[in-house]
Structure 1
Amino acid sequence: MIDVDYFKIFNDTYGHVQGDECLKIIAKTLKSTVNRSTDLTARLGGEEFSVLLPDTDEDGGKSIATKILESISALKIPNENSKAMPYVTVSIGICSLVPTVNCEAEDFIHAADMALYSAKESGRNRFQVFNNVIGSKNSINEDLELWKKIEGMAIDK
């Protein structure tokens, strides 16, 4: 999960038209940063995005999260009233779970959201990892379920 830090402040300062433009630039940057054919980047709503990286371990997720943070920061989109930095930044929650018996797609989303909240609580402009073993069916079914839920919101399908 990826959330634009202090986006309400950005919208209040620069207006909704600039806010929409900012989100488009971020979406494009995410799409170019996460570019394997199996990866999926989606806007969930508001200033929140999701990136699915199948067959990626925790270290791979951390590496991609670092690239995303660097790519967004490199844009230097001004956000002069931000409490984090004078430009637009993002916070990222990473979910690196080993599926077990009772795992649902929502569990992955919830875990990533908890990690995102932790990243925000820790100062923003960073990532946090949630990694734990939770309940599981079979990994293929969970991946398909999660993809179905988010694929409809994909950026540049």
Structure 2
Amino acid sequence: MGNQANTKESKSIPEPKTVSELRPISGQKAVSEMGSAWGRLPFPQLTAFLERVKILVSAGKYDFVPRRKNMQALAQYSLTVSDAKDEILGLAIGDYYRGPKEDYDAARPGDIWEFKKNIDGIQFYVKVKIVQENGEEVLKCIGFHEDYFA
């Protein structure tokens, strides 16, 4: 046995450069099965956006838009606005659906990002964007309801 140190050689795993290089997480579809939008989005852009989302929401710079569809979904599934906030904090690369894309409303500039997230066995559609309000960035949740096209 002697004084031989256990020297495991660690293999460096390269970071993916695009979302299409990702491997599926247990229970998720492979990236190639997720749709054509995956291959077009640079991985660093999505990663940076999700990091920004977490920073803004954690700092209280978050606004849930109480549209009727959003509020009905919360009521139907016994969720609160705080629950929606927690789900948004938990958004991951595997939840990505599409974006960024310009908001159709020219009066509200900013890119819209869309996600599909499984919450207690129900597929939810989540639409968010980062906006400027009073000189500060705020994450707006403009869509949070069951995904009718799942």
Q: Flag the structure with higher helix content.
A: 1
Q: Flag the structure with higher strand content.
A: 2
Q: TM-score, normalised to structure 1's length? A: 0.27
Computing the radius of gyration over CA atoms, which structure comes out larger, 1 or 2? 2
Q: TM-score, normalised to structure 2's length? A: 0.28
